[in-house]
Amino acid sequence: MSKKVSRYIKENTWIWAAVGAFLLWFIMGISSGRLNLESFLSNAYIASFLAILSFGQMLVVTSGRGAIDLSIPGVLTLMAFVSMSIINGENKNVPLAIFVIVALGALIGVLNGLMVIYLQIPAIIATMAMNYILTTAALLINKNFSIFAIAPVLDDLIKTRIFGVQLMIYLVILLAVLFWFLLRRTSYGKSLLAIGQNREAAKLAGIKVNRVEILTYALSSVLAAISGMLISARVGSAILGMGDDYSLETVASIVVGGTLISGGKANVPGTLAGCLFLGLIVTAMQIMGFSVGAQNIAKGALIIIVLLLGTGQGKAERSVRFKKKSA
3-state secondary structure 161-202: EECCEEHHHHHHHHHHHHHHHHHHHCHHHHHHHHHHHCHHHH
In this prediction the pTM is 0.88
Q: What is the tens place of the pLDDT at every residue in 150-176?
A: 888 998 888 889 988 899 999 999 999
**CA separation for the pair 81, 86 (Å, rounded):** 9
**Residue 188: which pLDDT band, with cuts at 50, 70 and 90?**
very high
165: which strand partners?
A: 162
Q: What is the largest CA-CA distance in the chain?
A: 65
Out of 12-21, 43-52, 102-111, 246-255, least confident range: 12-21
Do 314 and 260 form a contact (C-beta atoms < 8 A)? Answer: yes
More confident residue, 325 or 117: 117
Out of 62-71, 109-118, 249-258, 300-309, least confident range: 300-309
Do 90 and 200 form a contact (C-beta atoms < 8 A)? Answer: no
Q: Which of 131, 130, 132, 144 is nearest to 82 (CA)?
A: 144
Average pLDDT over residues 133-142: 90
**CA separation for the pair 150, 293 (Å, rounded):** 31
Domains in the chain, CATH or no CATH each = 20-26+38-321 (1.10.3470)
**CA separation for the pair 188, 180 (Å, rounded):** 12
Q: Which of 131, 11, 133, 116 is nearest to 65 (CA)?
A: 116
162: which strand partners?
A: 165
SS3 (DSSP) at 129: helix
Q: Percent of the chain scored above 90 by pLDDT?
A: 46
**Residue 319: which pLDDT band, with cuts at 50, 70 and 90?**
low
Q: State residue 165 phi and psi, 5-degree precision.
A: -110, 135
Do 55 and 175 form a contact (C-beta atoms < 8 A)? Answer: yes
Q: What is the tens place of the pLDDT at every residue in 290-308?
A: 777 777 787 778 777 776 7
Could you tell me the CA-to-CA distances from 154 to 80, 94, 95, 226, 248 in Å, in that order? 13, 8, 11, 12, 27
161: which strand partners?
A: 166
> Going by C-beta distance under 8 Å and a sequence separation of 6 or more, which residues neighbour residue 2?
none
